[in-house]
Structure 1
Amino acid sequence: MPNPHGSPTHFVLKLYDRRFGTFLRSNVHGQVVPHTQEIEAAFRTFVMKGTMLAFLEWLEDTNKTRDMPMKPRHFLDDADNGPVKFEAALWAKCHENFERETQAYTRLRDLQGKSIPRMLAHVCLAATDDEPVDALKEMSPELVPYLEVNGILLERIDGYELEDMTASPLAPPTHEWQRIVQSAVNLAHDINRRGIVMQDCDPRNVVVHEVSQTPHFVDLAECRFRDEMEKYWHEWEWDDDEDWDPEIEYWKFVDDYDNPKDIGAPMVTRAKRERGVDLQVEYPTCKALISHIRHRKAEVARKW
């Protein structure tokens, strides 16, 4: 299958598997907690007894009342089945990442193949070959997903990570760097304007195509959606204040995360430090947007 650059398209299967990932499986000290057959057996017992359902309901209710959700690593020291709860919380995190990333790709459909990879398919795999097919068939349907691994089939962007631009043999001459970094910064802002805020926005999550030298965001699992935030704000009655405005609140949230600067600032520092190249990157300002929104709404109010 040819891509817009005229070269053959390759694909990558991204799996959301709780059993792997150094950061995902780290404890509070940053040490990786290995997955073992013993803990897997205990987790499966946890699922089969129906305890998983109750735990996930408790976790969801608890996180609704917290400013920051509980991380899987917080359960490791729990005296009551801590390691198993760690696995259960990891499953919940992987499931959330899968749901958010597939939703993000769907919402950014018009950018697929241009600024983000094309998403070709969703997949669902059995976690291991150890579970007999007949045993899975006999399980309650609501329990089966806990022993499966979700994934997505994505177009592979052949190139280099933006964070490696200063050293990669695939990178263009230094006079092209300004354009590439500015394009990535602008793309981050464009994604924000479409109602998506990336909570893990970093040059390592941007791949620059080796032929076109255009940046592509390739990791959208850690993100928030504007409509979901507005629903949360209304549920918590933030709108009781007559001066409160959801559009302004969204752009304040965007400003707090500052996705464009998350991309541009590290690259400006790296280009100067490693190659002596000065990049003059321009960043969009949320404060100017907020001021414009207030002015526009004040004008509408005056007309009424």
Structure 2
Amino acid sequence: MLYLHHYYEPGAQITLNLRSCDSDESARSVQATVVKSYTPFTLSQVLLLDINSPLPDFLPATTTNFILKVYDPRFLQHRQGTKLSAPHPWTLAAETTAARRRAFANLPTWWPDDSDTAGWEEYYHANLQQMFKNELAAYTRLLSLQGQSIPRCYAHGTLVLPSPSKRMVVPRVLLLSYVPGPCLRSVNPSRVAPAVARALIDTVRAFGTLGVIHDDLRPDNIILSPSDAPSRPFVLDFGNAQVRADESEEDWEYKLVENDEPKLMEMTLDKLEIDHSL
């Protein structure tokens, strides 16, 4: 069974090694206080943090509240089991075995047998590592949209696990701006102006132009801000994103047409009975 580890509880003090997304400077040790954990955790663990003084120079001095995404496979919701998979609770022994195997060879990451506990640890580890890479790459590609229609990505790095820790996995993290507001699913449709809905569709279209397919567009991943008078949509969670690499213009255009995320966004708004007409 998953549980809220003590270093994710409100009031907990955590240490991060962070590197600015805007420079190649060395990682800095940063202390923070957990304000809130957004539970239940599903894939990454999402925390609201208060960064302790002094703030590093790559963070804005006007706020101390930030969102931290932690990519720790120990707390994946999938471990509880699904219709296709038995429960796979975390154990230090299985994680250690997987890590030792990984140090000597590139391990397969396809669907393991239920009895292969180390195989499941490797499967979970590889998936979380890929999600971190996807998200960081997407935020880098979408730099021009940061702070406007997606959160700002300030830093990336690792979570320093409390001592003593025998774990061989060092969880990766992203530090993002905190965007307060309700998710699209929980907002009364009458409170969403057509212009706001159209801005959301235009944002999704801009993703494709800039080389990103979100691949997980759903109401829970869209925040309307501010809370009292929603006027700006923010799209979150790029863990499943496809980021253009060496595709030709023709191949990338084919992917955009195949996914057609602007149309998907329109269909989502229609389902929620939110007007997006011009």
**TM-score tier after normalising by the smaller chain length:** 0.5 to 0.7
- Distance apart, 1:225 and its partner CA: 1.8
Q: Summarize deviations over 1:111-141 as a string: whole Å, max 9, x none.
A: 1111111112213124564425xxx8xxxxx
Q: Note the residue ranges of structure 2 that are not aligned, 5 or more in a row.
A: 1-54, 56-61
- Distance apart, 1:152 and its partner CA: 0.8
Quick check: 1:200 aligned with 2:204? no
Q: Secondary structure at the match of 2:176?
A: strand
Change (3 A) 1:30 1:130: farther
Q: Summarize deviations over 1:258-294 as a string: whole Å, max 9, x none.
A: 21223221221222xxxxx6x2447xxxxxxxxxxxx
> Which has the larger strand fraction?
2
Pick from 193, 206, 211: which aligns with 1:190?
A: 206
Question: What is the percent sequence identity of the aligned residues?
Answer: 22
Q: Secondary structure at the match of 1:160?
A: coil
Provide TM-score, normalisation by structure 2: 0.68
Match of residue 268 from structure 1: 270
Quick check: 1:11 aligned with 2:66? yes
Quick check: 1:75 aligned with 2:112? yes
Q: Secondary structure at the match of 1:122?
A: strand
- Distance apart, 1:149 and its partner CA: 0.3
Pick from 222, 232, 244: which aligns with 1:226?
A: 244
Match of residue 99 from structure 1: 133
Match of residue 240 from structure 1: none
- Distance apart, 1:83 and its partner CA: 2.1
**Which one-letter code corresponds to 1:117 in the other structure?**
P
Match of residue 112 from structure 1: 146
Q: Distance in 2 between matches of 1:45 and 1:91?
A: 12
- Distance apart, 1:34 and its partner CA: 5.2
Change (3 A) 1:94 1:281: farther
Q: How many residues align?
A: 216
Q: Distance in 1 between matches of 2:233 and 2:242?
A: 21
Quick check: 1:155 aligned with 2:177? yes
Q: Note the residue ranges of structure 1 that are not aligned, 5 or more in a row.
A: 2-6, 60-69, 137-145, 168-173, 231-245, 272-276, 283-304
Change (3 A) 1:281 1:40: farther
Larger radius of gyration: 1
**Which one-letter code corresponds to 1:75 in the other structure?**
P
Match of residue 44 from structure 2: none
Aligned 1:115-126 pairs, distance under 5 A: 115-126=149-160
Q: Secondary structure at the match of 1:94?
A: helix
Q: Secondary structure at the match of 2:155?
A: strand
Provide TM-score, normalisation by structure 1: 0.63
CA RMSD of aligned residues (A): 2.8
Instruction: Tell whether the 8 Å contact from 1:9 to 1:156 is kept in structure 2 after alignment.
Output: no
Pick from 47, 52, 76: which aligns with 2:102?
A: 52
Change (3 A) 1:176 1:47: closer
